[in-house]
Every structure is written in structure tokens, then in C-alpha cells.
Amino acid sequence: MNLLLFITVFLLPPLVATLEKHSPLESVPRKHVLLHGVKAHRFHQEGVLNYTSMLLMEDLGLLVLGAREAVFALDLHDISKGKASVRWEAMGDPVRNCLVTKAEVLCKNYIMVLHRIDAHRIYVCGTYAFRPKCVNMTYVDGKLTLEQKVEDGTRKGPIDPDKRSASILVDDKLYSATFKDFHGKQASFCRSGICNTENRLFNDPTFVSMSFVPESQNSPNGDDDKIYLFFSEEAVECKCNSNLLASRVARVCKGDQGGNRVLQKKWTSFLKARIDCPVQKNQWSNVIEGSYLLCDPQQQWQNCVFYAIFRPQQDTDGPSAVCGYSLSDISRVFSEGNYKTEKWITSIFSAWHPYDEKVPSPRPGACITNTDREQGINDTRDQNPDTHEFVKRTFLMDEAIQPIGGKPLLLRRGATFNHIIVTQTTAADGQKYNVMFVSTEDGTVLKSVNYNGEIFTIEEMQIFQPGVPIRTLTFSSITNQLYAGSHSGVAQIPLASCDRSSSCVDCVLSRDPHCGWDKSSGKCVALTDSTRQLIQSVRDGNANLCPNTQDSIQTTEQSTWSGGNLKLRCPLTSNLATVSWERDNHPLKLSDRLQQLDDGLLILNASGTDSGQYKCLSVERSKTGQFSTSVARFNVKITARTDSGMMAAIQGLGVVVALLACLIGLLFWTIYKQQQFPSGTSKKKDSKGRGQVSELH
Ligand SMILES: *[C@@H]1O[C@H](CO)[C@@H](O)[C@H](O)[C@H]1NC(C)=O
Ligand SMILES: *[C@@H]1O[C@H](CO)[C@@H](O)[C@H](O)[C@H]1NC(C)=O
Ligand SMILES: *[C@@H]1O[C@H](CO)[C@@H](O)[C@H](O)[C@H]1NC(C)=O
Ligand SMILES: *[C@@H]1O[C@H](CO)[C@@H](O)[C@H](O)[C@H]1NC(C)=O
């Protein structure tokens, strides 16, 4: 009892305190789903590790998976069903040269780039023992085949499996941000033919992601399409002492052909800006880790939103964050904002300032537009060399890009965020909502919905063992499934598991736009699986809509002796609920002897007055009110100590008698055996033992 007292008195208050410390932005997941509670299809091939790249081929019903020295084609509907695979191992000189300086495990071919070329072909790049190579792969007649021609993958795919790179295939051209050297120092950003490496576009960067935006569509001024690159790098412009990183977005024009006299075969349209996701007004508290571009196909590109995730920098206790950026805000900073420039104060010291001199025309970094074309400038090579001279040195924007609403959408302490995807779904109210899935370094995925700026986190699911980082994340709107890759394997889970809610109140309070309560079947079901009218209230969590039902929970008998302790278990399914106890239909008064735990009630030093009917209720608030549901009911009996003491004494005596009888029996048996086989048994055992040993060898 003293131990229990210790636990309740000293360990519970800190738990309560940590919950209180959450800022309002810190979204506590309503449910935590443990690994065994996640219904997943899984794939893992014996001996193959590092499942770090994925490509969906929905029309063929395939999920293509890049791993260490192998590519797999899996059934999109059930990834545990492999359809085809092909091995691509690093061999020969590259491996021998690699082994001189690198660990053996790194001198392999890590498949990290997969891009679709056409109906049946995929462009694949592997690190190939630090000599990256790329090849076209076909999927024909249910077989994956690497084509004969293998090309040098330098500046196309990553060289080092531990360093991130980013690439995208647009109009048959590969845009890639990689490192081109063994040591990962020389960053390059290339498109076949146009490449910037020596020109200092980056300062020790970590590449994060790349996206394509078709901005030429319906453009009134004949603007070009853009490629956006997200990365982090040394914060050169920050007047700070420590080595802080800056989060950046950069963009180039699809039609950039490089300069003529200046910037020949180099980007003339590369501009970059800082991207902020300020936590408590501190812009430098975190650094970008991933991004996802969400565009509503029924709307203009200006309404697209980049969702980006940030991890804490330096202060490792800080929260991870999600911020949203409107593409029109990003676009405005690049097309209208001022530039930032480095001024040398002495030959060693410099400082960054807004550019305050005359900017050449056409605007440095701008794409070719109708105005240029009217002047006979069809191509960046025809542009004014002064413009190129300017942009060769000045390509950082002065203004930083601020998130929608000026602050993060979501903050969370604990496991670091590493990937994000966002899907759009139509709820029962006919409105579209954005659902975010954020993976962490701890093998979990959070599911959060954006209700017009209010973020509600439905659940955090443990997809892989705790501590196993998720390395790649994607989803299919055809199968409504999420696919996550880790070093050890791949998992597929549904976007929604409505059956985790067993009551109408739980189903409605989960505020999951994918789920609703079906009155007639008495189940929480997916909207897509039902044609019936379902009960749902995603904005308000109005569980008053639920039909009144008799609670059908079973009564459990529990008893202890007077003076004993008893725990009545009542685990709540919602982290947002509080528990409330009743005894004989009256609220229970808690005391030193009657203590409420996270998962139940503790009765210490019980007495006869503790007998009765106990009921445990889960009480959860939503915008429309407070809802209670019965979770468990107990019939508690406390038996008087005297009786129980006697009982124990009688039982104890019984045990002693039985033990004595056994001992006597054993004694007799031993004597009897000894007389029957004086010595033979041990010899037999010996020969048998030796036989087994030699068989093993
Ligand atoms: C892959 O296919 C594309 C498109 O047909 C072609 O342009 C490219 O040269 C091929 N690459 C290799 C390495 O064979
Ligand atoms: C630009 O394109 C137009 C129409 O295609 C053409 O008439 C003109 O000669 C081109 N100008 C240059 C400088 O190439
Ligand atoms: C590959 O997977 C193993 C096993 O989880 C992991 O220890 C290792 O860091 C991974 N290697 C790379 C280069 O990602
Ligand atoms: C248990 O309760 C009885 C009275 O019901 C009291 O006399 C006794 O001191 C209590 N024991 C402990 C260890 O608190």
C-alpha cells in the first residue's frame, strides 16, 4: 500500500503538470493508438533494409518501393502482396574505391529516386557506392526490368545515403538538388543542361523537397511555370553568434535557359527567401524538415498552400511545428519584394542589408513574360546582361515569408516531425476540409484536421516500433490508404479507422470528417462506405445528435477484505476526457483513501462503508457542451477482516498439510526406484546425450 501511495502522491502530479503546460496551439491527440491497435498491411523482404523511396502508379494498381539494392512493385490495395522485384547491386570499382574511406554498409546501392517517365517506365537513381547511377526501369507483363543503358547519376540522384536530396521530373526534365562530391560539401541544383554549382547559391544546405506549380495557366501576363525548392542552410544574414540554420524556399522558372555573356548555362531566375514558422515570436527557434503542396484542382494556383513541418533547432526540448503558406504570399515576395545584399565593412566583416540602389530592368530573377516577348525577348538568354550581373550576386530576398495567420497551425513537443502529407476530404456537411498526416522520428503518424484555422488532432498512431523513424510517407486517394516506409519495412494503413469508436458519442466527438455514426447498424463507419445519412458534427462535436441509448455495460464483481486495497480499472479512450466516479448513483467524494488514477480508482485500507455499486464515466467537452458516457460498472463487496483472517489461517494450514504429504510421497518413490534400477539409468542418459550432440555437428 505504501508503494501505491508513493506512486499516486509523487508520480501523478508531474503528469498533470505536463498536461497543463501545453500552450493552446499544442494539440493533444484525442486518441493514442498503440502498435497492436493499428490495422496495417505490412511489407518487408528478408535481408533487405532501408525502404526510403516510394512511387504510386495508381493506374496500374502499384506501389513502387526503393530500398537498399532492390526495387519492389507491390499491390497498392494490399502491400503485403509483392508483385515483382528487381535487384540492383553496387559492384566492381565503385565499391572498391568506396571501401577505402567509407564503411562497408554505405558502399551499397541505396535506391532513393523514383520518377515516372511514361505508362510503363520509371527513372531510378541509386547511390551506387558513392558513384550515383540512374537507369530506366520498365514494368511490363508483371515484371520489373532495368534497361541496359545506365547513366552517370552525379547531380541527378544523391551520392550519400545519409544526406537528403530533392528532385522532380517535369516535362521529361529532371530538376535535382544534390551534392556532387564524396564529402557532401558541393551542393548543386540542376536541370539537364542548366546547373549551378560553383556559383554560391547555397551555404551548407540540407535539401528538403521540391514542387512544381503550373503558374503559366491562365496567367494574364504570360508568366512561366515554377519549380520551388525547400531547404535549410547556414543563416548567413543572421547577426547571431551561434551557427543557426535558416529555412528557405527558392524558385526558378521552368523556361530558364541560362544567360548569354553572364551566367551561361546557369540559373538566371534563382531567387530564395527565408521562410518563418515563429514559435512565440522567435523566427530562429526551428528549421524546416518537410513540405507538401496542396492544390484544389477546382481553384487557381494562387490558392495552393504549402504545408511545411519544422523541427526545433538547438533547443531540443522545443516543439515541432506545422505552418501553412499561401502560394500567392510566396509569389508576391519573389515578384515584388526587395532584395538583400551583403555589404563589406572591412575586408573580413560584412553585414546584410536591404538593397537600396537602382535595380536593373527587367527585374532580376523574373521569368519571361508577355512584356518581354513584346520587346522581342523570348528567352532568358536575350535578357539584359546587367540583370544577370545583378542576380549573379543578389538572389536572397529581404522579406521573410510569413505563415498564414502569422503563427504555426500546430505545435507538438516530443517526437520530432519528419514528413507531412495533406489530403482534402468532403465531410457530411458538404464542406471540404484539409486533413494532415504528420510522421515522426518515433514511428508514429498524427492525424489532424484544419477546421478553418482551428486544428484538431484526431489521433496519433504508432505505425512502427517506438524509436523507428518513418523515412517516407505517401497516400492514394484511389485506395484511401496511407503508405509509410522505414528502414525496416513498409506499412499501409487506412486514412480512417472509424471502427475505433464503439459508441455514437465517441464517433461524433472524434470529429473525423471521414467517419459518421450509422444509426441503423449502430456502428461508426466511413463516409465512403455508406449511402445512408450518418451522424457527424466535425466543426462542433455536437454529440446531442446521438440517439439516447441505455448503456449496456456489464457489471464486474470486485471484493477485498476490510483493510485491503482495491483498484477498479477504467481506462478512458479519449485523452481529452476526464473521468468521474459515482457510488450508488451519487458522485463519489475522493479522499486520501479513495484516489483517482489515470486509468481507474484506488481504494486504500478498505472498510465496510466502501461497499456498493461503482460507476465510472468518461466526461468530454466539446463546443456544444459536456458529454458523459459510462465506461465501467463494479459491484464492490468488502468482507470483514476477522472472517478473512480465519479463512487465511485455514487455507494456510491446508497448504502445509499438502506439502508434507508430497514430501513423504517423494521419499517413498525415491526409495522404490533405487531398488528397481541400481545403476543403469545414468549410463543410458549418457549415450543418448552424446548422440544428440554429434547429430548437431
Ligand atoms: C530514359 O528514357 C527517357 C525517355 O524515353 C530517355 O530520354 C532517357 O535517355 C532514358 N534514360 C536512360 C538512362 O536510358
Ligand atoms: C521571338 O519569337 C517571335 C515569335 O515566335 C519571333 O517572331 C521573334 O523573331 C523571336 N525573337 C527573337 C529575338 O528570337
Ligand atoms: C539502413 O537501415 C539500418 C537498419 O535500420 C539503419 O541502421 C541504417 O542507418 C540505414 N542506413 C541508411 C544509410 O539509411
Ligand atoms: C485503516 O483504517 C482503520 C480504521 O478504519 C484505521 O484504524 C487504521 O489506522 C488505518 N490503517 C492505515 C494503515 O492507515
Sequence-distant (≥ 6) Cβ neighbours of residue 321 within 8 angstroms: 277, 279, 286, 309, 310, 408, 410, 411, 412, 417
What pLDDT is attached to residue 686? 36
Q: Taking CA 112 as the corner, what is the angle to CA 489 and CA 82, rounded to the nearest 5 degrees?
A: 40
Q: Where are the beta strands (DSSP E) in 268-390?
A: 271-274, 286-294, 305-312, 320-326, 339-344, 350-354
To the nearest whole number, what is the mean pLDDT of the chain? 88
Q: Which CATH superfamily is domain 163-414 in?
A: YVTN repeat-like/Quinoprotein amine dehydrogenase (2.130.10.10)
Instruction: Judge if the beta carbon of residue 389 lies within 6 A of ligand 2.
Output: no
Classify 303 as helix, strand or coil: helix
Sequence-distant (≥ 6) Cβ neighbours of residue 525 within 8 angstroms: 498, 499, 515, 516, 517, 518, 534
* pLDDT tens sequence across 267-316: 999 999 999 999 988 888 999 999 999 999 889 999 999 999 999 998 77
Q: Which residues of 452-486 are buried (b: 16+ CB within 10 A; e: fewer)?
A: eeebbbbbbbbbbeeebbbbbbbbbeebbbbbbbb
Grid cell at residue 330:
510566396
Q: Could you give the CA distance from residue 120 to residue 62 in angstroms, rounded to a whole number? A: 11
> What is the share, in percent, of the chain residues with pLDDT greater than 70?
87
What pLDDT is attached to residue 259? 92
Answer whether residue 232 shows pLDDT above 80: yes
Q: Kindly report the CATH number that applies to the domain delimited by 498-545.
A: 3.30.1680.10
> Given pLDDT bands bounded at 50, 70 and 90, which one contains residue 200?
confident
Answer whether residue 122 shows pLDDT above 60: yes
* pLDDT tens sequence across 62-90: 999 999 999 999 999 999 999 999 999 99
Classify 675 as helix, strand or coil: helix
> Given pLDDT bands bounded at 50, 70 and 90, which one contains residue 672?
low
Of the bound ligands, which one is closest to the alpha carbon of residue 124?
1
* pLDDT tens sequence across 596-634: 988 899 999 999 999 999 999 999 999 999 999 899 999
Which of 206, 232, 228, 207 lies closest to 288 in space, CA to CA? Answer: 232
What pLDDT is attached to residue 518? 95
Which of 502, 500, 537 lies closest to 516 in space, CA to CA? Answer: 537
Q: Taking CA 166 as the corner, what is the angle to CA 162 and CA 171, rounded to the nearest 5 degrees?
A: 150
Answer whether residue 145 shows pLDDT above 90: yes
For residue 225, the CA-to-ligand 2 centroid distance in Å is 20
Answer whether residue 10 shows pLDDT above 60: no
Which of 255, 200, 246, 236 lies closest to 392 in space, CA to CA? Answer: 200
DSSP classification of residue 281: T
For residue 555, the CA-to-ligand 4 centroid distance in Å is 29
Measured from the CA of 147, which atom of ligand 1 is nearest?
A: 14
Instruction: Judge if the beta carbon of residue 382 lies within 6 A of ligand 2.
Output: yes
**Residue 223 neighbours by CB distance under 10 Å:** 18
What pLDDT is attached to residue 314? 82
For residue 569, the CA-to-ligand 1 centroid distance in Å is 63
Answer whether residue 384 shows pLDDT above 70: yes
- Where does ligand 4 bind, in terms of residues with CB under 6 Å? 563, 605, 607
Domains of the chain, by residue range, sit at: 163-414, 498-545, 555-639, 644-695
Q: Kindly report the CATH number that applies to the domain delimited by 555-639.
A: 2.60.40.10
Ligand 1 pocket test, candidate residues 116, 118, 136, 174, most atoms within 8 A of CB? 136
Residue minimizing CA distance to atom 14 of ligand 4? 605
Strand 31-33 with 454-462, pairing: parallel
Measured from the CA of 486, which atom of ligand 3 is nearest?
A: 5
Number of residues assigned to the chain: 697
Classify 241 as helix, strand or coil: coil
> Given pLDDT bands bounded at 50, 70 and 90, which one contains residue 690?
very low
For residue 471, the CA-to-ligand 1 centroid distance in Å is 28
